[in-house]
């Protein structure tokens, strides 16, 4: 099962069975030797969290 979202602006977004979201706080003070710490969230548009085993 897949989902398409239509926005008022006309933008259409197709989403597959899973959605992955990642965020990173960027600090480039010592670039190119910097390190980034990122967190990831996993979810599904087809199945509830109680059905996911990640």
Residue by residue, pLDDT tens for the chain (54 residues) are 567 888 888 888 776 666 666 777 778 888 888 887 777 777 777 777 777 776
pTM of the model: 0.34
Contact in structure between 18 and 49 (CB atoms under 8 Å): no
Do 18 and 51 contact (CB within 8 A), yes or no? no
* Residue 24, Cβ density class (10 Å: 0-12 exposed, 13-18 middle, ≥19 buried): exposed
| Token pair 């977004």: residue | 13
Encoded tokens for 6: 């239509």
């Amino acid at each position: 099962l897949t989902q398409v979202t239509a926005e008022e602006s006309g933008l259409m977004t197709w989403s597959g069975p899973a959605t992955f979201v990642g965020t990173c706080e960027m600090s480039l003070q010592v670039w190119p030797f910097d390190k980034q710490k990122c967190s990831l969230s996993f979810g599904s548009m087809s199945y509830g969290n109680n059905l996911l085993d990640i």
